[in-house]
Structure 1
Amino acid sequence: MVVQQHRGGGGALAVCALAVAGVMAVTAGCSDGSGGHVHGERLRAGAPGPGGSGETLRRAADVLVAAGSAEMRTSMETAAGGTRVTIRGQGAYDFRRQLGRVRVVLPKDAAGETGHRPITELLAPGALYMKNRGAGVPEEKWVRVDTTALEDGNLVTGGVTDPMAAAELLRGAGEVTYVGKKELAGVTVHHYQGTADLGGAARAASPESRGALTAAAKGFGTDAVPFDAYLDEEGRLRKVRHRFSFASEGPAVAVVSTLLLYGFGVPVTVRLPDRGDIYTGLIQQGRGGGGSR
């Protein structure tokens, strides 16, 4: 299956340098440089709903907004030079306010050090906040990243794909195949496979997500994003896996982002940092020095 190609150049290097504690920079060879609310519908195997499989997936983000919130687990995998690295996260997300909190765990030694503390990330419309970022940032301070200014719209930069962005990507679903029913963590789900169009998803996205997805649509070399999506009997997205790749210098590096959703309706409290708690100094970009603000 074809994976999404990300253009190389200085912008791509900057994105790699921003990735959580430099993990993507080390593993990918970059160290040098809406819709309204819609209630869920009951799905039937082989007959995913009015409009077919594609329309069912295009409504998935709206169904999550109607559900309100969920707990989440995430993973982001990449491989370079024969080494596979996985960044894992766990947290909760409010789909109505598009706010989330996730604890990101780095693989051992992936950032060039052992025992790195888990990173706390706050997800918000147009912004990513990171604490325990490393790279010269004081432990008590947050780093704020404008996701609308990132070439990937924060689909991979933070090591976690924002859950709302992951669902909104399905608004661009096309060439969808209904694979069938299966069990996922004791829940009956319907498996769909297809390709999402980034540009189409950005145009159909909610105002809060549109800026980041528009940035991603401009920054990636092609709009096609392959995915596997799993919806429960109420039409709620339970699992989605997107396949991206970065093509900078040398062979393209595949990045697979997976999101699991469960515990719908859980209370989610997210308090964004005050201005005085945000670090605005120099951030180290690699092992050899240099940095950015």
Structure 2
Amino acid sequence: MSGSKRSGALVGAGVVAIALLAGCSGSGETPAGAPAAQNPAAVAEDPAAAALLAAASEATVAAGTARYELQMHVETGGQQTTVSGTGTYDFDRKIGDLEMTTAGPGTAPGTVDVIIDGATFYTQLPGQGGWTRTQTEGSAVSGQQYDPAQQLATLQKVSDDVRMVGTEQLRGAEVRHVAFAIDPAALASASGMPGDSAAALQSGGPIPGDLWVDQDGRVRKLQMQMTMNQGGTVSTMNVISEYFDFGVPVTVQRPDPATVQGPAGGR
């Protein structure tokens, strides 16, 4: 696969991850193993954990805006690729930006720019003069599932086995760590995913996840791990998202239509 095509494929994977995993981020740290939800012995049952998870979405939205970072580790066919990114997101306008780089076999150097506008994604690959528009299909309620806060609300509806892990430190703040599991069939249904994507998502079984919530009840970090089988090719995707700098100005704007190609008015 050529570098440009591989970069395009990784961008697509990144968009899927953003949509499914609450929009993104990561502190630059490599995941220390699988999410805690995969190891029930590591966590203690705590009914308060479910309430904490349920309230986190509203508290995060109330912050208005946030800066975020993303790390996505993908293994396909024995090859590993890491996608790292940083950006900002406005929960009211449902718009954000993401600047990504990739590292791995066959990846092209350079930065990939993404603008998230509800259910629409604009992507600019290295060396590309304009933007490519992707209008996601099967979106629920005008694409609200692609708003990170709305996606968190969806996740809480289809999560089970919610457990409290404990209290930790993150970026100098005290956070509470909650582990949970997601039924992929319920997630696909709640997200309105098209058939092929839903089948790929469900092929890997339950999705383990971890959530870190600060003392104001806001989501500070989210980690989820998915295994998908697409046409016989098995991929494992581990995504870590981290939110910080709540209230930061978000100045991102939609690209000039004259520079955009793709569905819905593309050139």
TM-score by length of 2: 0.70
The CA deviation at 1:126 is 0.9
Encode CA deviations 1:69-120: one digit per residue, 9 max, x unaligned.
Answer: 1110001111134332110000111112221111011115543x4x3x2011
Q: Which runs of 5+ in 2 are unaligned?
A: 14-43
Partner of 1:141: 130
Instruction: Say which SS state the counterpart of residue 106 (structure 1) adopts.
Output: strand
The CA deviation at 1:146 is 1.2
Partner of 2:160: 174
User: What is the CA–CA distance in structure 1 between the aligned matches of 2:53 and 2:187, rounded to whole Å?
Assistant: 11
Flag the 1:69–1:105 CA change in 2: closer, same or farther, 3 A: same
Flag the 1:23–1:274 CA change in 2: closer, same or farther, 3 A: same
Contact 2:79 2:105 in 1 (8 A): no
- What letter matches 1:258 in structure 2? I
Partner of 2:124: 131
Contact 1:70 1:94 in 2 (8 A): yes
Encode CA deviations 1:11-49: one digit per residue, 9 max, x unaligned.
Answer: xxxxxx9985233799xxxxxxxxxxxxxxxxxxx998x
User: What is the CA–CA distance in structure 2 between the aligned matches of 1:72 and 1:230, rounded to whole Å?
Assistant: 14
Say yes or no: does 1:258 pair with 2:236: no
Find 1:23's aligned residue among 3, 6, 10.
10
User: What is the CA–CA distance in structure 1 between the aligned matches of 2:49 and 2:172, rounded to whole Å?
Assistant: 23
User: What is the CA–CA distance in structure 2 between the aligned matches of 1:78 and 1:214, rounded to whole Å?
Assistant: 24
Instruction: Say which SS state the counterpart of residue 270 (structure 1) adopts.
Output: coil
- What letter matches 1:107 in structure 2? A
User: What is the CA–CA distance in structure 2 between the aligned matches of 1:86 and 1:75, rounded to whole Å?
Assistant: 7
The CA deviation at 1:163 is 3.5
The CA deviation at 1:59 is 2.5
Flag the 1:25–1:96 CA change in 2: closer, same or farther, 3 A: closer
User: What is the CA–CA distance in structure 2 between the aligned matches of 1:66 and 1:199, rounded to whole Å?
Assistant: 30
Contact 1:20 1:133 in 2 (8 A): no
Q: How does 1:1-293 map to 2 (within 5 A)?
A: 20-23=7-10, 52-107=48-103, 109-111=105-107, 113=108, 115=109, 117-132=110-125, 139-149=128-138, 163-164=148-149, 167-171=152-156, 172-197=158-183, 213-215=191-193, 219-221=197-199, 222=202, 224-250=206-232, 252-280=234-262
- What letter matches 1:270 in structure 2? V
The CA deviation at 1:144 is 0.7
- What letter matches 2:125 in structure 1? N
User: What is the CA–CA distance in structure 1 between the aligned matches of 2:90 and 2:45, rounded to whole Å?
Assistant: 30
Q: Which runs of 5+ in 1 are unaligned?
A: 1-16, 27-45, 155-160, 204-209, 282-292
The CA deviation at 1:225 is 2.7
User: What is the CA–CA distance in structure 2 between the aligned matches of 1:47 and 1:202, rounded to whole Å?
Assistant: 27
Aligned residue-pair number: 221
Partner of 1:39: none
Flag the 1:235–1:202 CA change in 2: closer, same or farther, 3 A: farther
User: What is the CA–CA distance in structure 2 between the aligned matches of 1:176 and 1:108, rounded to whole Å?
Assistant: 34
User: What is the CA–CA distance in structure 1 between the aligned matches of 2:150 and 2:126, rounded to whole Å?
Assistant: 22
Q: Percent identity?
A: 24
Flag the 1:132–1:245 CA change in 2: closer, same or farther, 3 A: same
Instruction: Say which SS state the counterpart of residue 192 (structure 2) adopts.
Output: helix
